[in-house]
Structure 1
């Protein structure tokens, strides 16, 4: 097995371990047992538990980006179509990963370095959404605060769908409405207020 194949196998087994036993059970030693490899092999690939968590988050983010890019390439150049792609891609990726990704994200919050990785990836996602939605905002820049609000809604709705509190279709429809509303607000030149001035 090549190094890359071993790496991909370890990532798959790590996700399986998180799915079956929870993020708290994820350690490099436990991963080596489940993957039936020696501990030095696992340590060589990830270094630390924090390194493994960062890889899992990156894997999730890359799949989310690939799903969205593919769907955007096939979509019509309309606000409804592009917003539907963002909403569907986000929800579908979280559902594909099931209940594991919230645990990984929670574990990332425990370390300043890992929290920075999460913030960096989220900032990239927000900027991508800004570029995708910009043509429909009639020359007005979509406020960053609105895009962060969209991301918060995307996380909450996707997590609720993942645990069965709402359906995937409800999550997608509500997120689609949120996205189209923030673009409409920006195009009217009335961005969401981020603070009140006295």
Structure 2
């Protein structure tokens, strides 16, 4: 992987622990992007980074820990993108739904084809699956709180949020593969989010509250 030659050269310089971690994370993402998740082992990461295996093991005790770190890195960037966009969004349902949809799709597109492979790898063990669910739960709760004011007293259900997340993952993945455009993915997801909130509103009307 010639793209790693500069990283291997820089790895011979003395790096701080945080700099080394960032270097390893960057190369790990490159490996997943170019060769797929299956190629990502701690030994291969050490080879591509130009360091010894103990250096990699000092940061990641196992391949599972590395995969979890990659997902956490993705989640943190997704959360930062969403938070920044929400701060400047107009306080309407359409605007907030649009921000959630656009932020989710854009973050996946920025990561290219890598994140679906990482998500799939997380399903390989109960521990990794639990990590993914924990981060998803935080994201879904943020969405619930953002959209709650527009439900006019209705309950945005866990089932609705899970359906929204399923749509977000499927549409973003399709956009990353080029099956649909970024705009199509964003607009369809936005419509899904608005429909979820409108169902919550309808529940209030049906009960006469």
Among 97, 113, 132, the alignment partner of 1:118 is 132
Q: What does residue 187 of structure 1 align with?
A: 201
1:106 aligns with 2:120: yes
Cα displacement (A) at 1:74: 1.1
1:74 aligns with 2:78: no
Cα displacement (A) at 1:37: 1.1
Whole-angstrom CA distance in 2 between matches of 1:85 and 1:5: 32
Q: What does residue 9 of structure 2 align with?
A: none
1:146 aligns with 2:146: no
Cα displacement (A) at 1:140: 1.3
Cα displacement (A) at 1:188: 1.2
Q: What does residue 135 of structure 1 align with?
A: 149
Q: What does residue 83 of structure 1 align with?
A: 97
SS at match of 2:203: coil
Cα displacement (A) at 1:35: 0.9
Query: Gaps (5+ residues) in structure 2?
Result: 1-14, 205-209
TM-score of the aligned structures, taking structure 1 as reference length? 0.95
1:52 aligns with 2:101: no
Cα displacement (A) at 1:137: 0.2
Cα displacement (A) at 1:139: 1.1
Q: What does residue 176 of structure 1 align with?
A: 190
Query: Gaps (5+ residues) in structure 1?
Result: 191-198
Cα displacement (A) at 1:156: 0.3
TM-score of the aligned structures, taking structure 2 as reference length? 0.90
Q: What does residue 107 of structure 2 align with?
A: 93
1:104-158: CA deviations, max 9, x gaps?
1111100110000001111111100000000000011211100100000000000
Q: What does residue 159 of structure 1 align with?
A: 173
4+ long deviations beyond 4 Å = none
User: Which structure has the larger Rg over C-alpha atoms?
Assistant: 2
Query: How many residue pairs align between the two structures?
Result: 191
Whole-angstrom CA distance in 1 between matches of 2:69 and 2:162: 24
